[in-house]
Amino acid sequence: GRPDRDGHVTLDACIMDHDSRCGSVAFLEDIQHPIDVARAIMDKTPHVMLVGEGAQKWALENGFSKADFEVPIPEVQKDYENWLIKSEYKTGVNVENHDTIGMLALDASGRMAGACTTSGMAYKIRGRVGDSPIIGAGLFIDGDVGGSTPGVEGMQVGFLAMNMQGEYGGYSVYNGFNYALRSKDRNEMVDAKYMRTWG
């Protein structure tokens, strides 16, 4: 992953399944494969998210090994050194500012699961956690629908807004999601599950 502005690599990840079981880790240092840590949090603890030093300590106590991120990939190190000269952030999504992965999968029985993992925006302020590891923002799964929007924070925050609209309107998350989507052309609501419009 790409480092923060102080040269440290921190990792975030979340996982969720069709039964709404979920686990998340954020601001994790020196542990490879944060998605494995998120899965272990889901399977072994009553918690949803662990962060920072506490997440690292828990991971080490539960069989994960410390990784050496102090020896950077030469290309990443060169990019970081070049960034230090101007210290300018690039806005928007581009290949230089993130390495986020989000995915959804169905098993042979049609059960959905999803995961999202990232080192976050390159050269971010130390301590920043994006939306990717936040259940309901970077990832949401239930028995019928799922979505992952890694690397596009505006859309991720939109998932939360849709969830809240559903909750305050007395709708399920699914109905709140549908209520919040509208056709740009006709200002009609869109049924995301069946991709039809209705007035």
The residues annotated as belonging to the active site are 100
User: What DSSP state is assigned to residue 48?
Assistant: S
Residue 189 CA to residue 33 CA, distance in Å, equals: 39
CB atoms within 10 A of CB 99: 18
What is the C-alpha separation between 109 and 129, in angstroms, rounded? 34
- For residue 162, what are the contacts with CB-CB under 8 A and spacing of at least 6? 173, 176, 177, 179, 180, 181
Long-range contacts of 98-102 (CB under 8 A, 24+ apart): 98/2, 98/122, 98/150, 98/151, 99/1, 99/2, 100/132, 100/150, 100/151, 101/150, 102/132, 102/138, 102/139, 102/148, 102/149, 102/150, 102/151
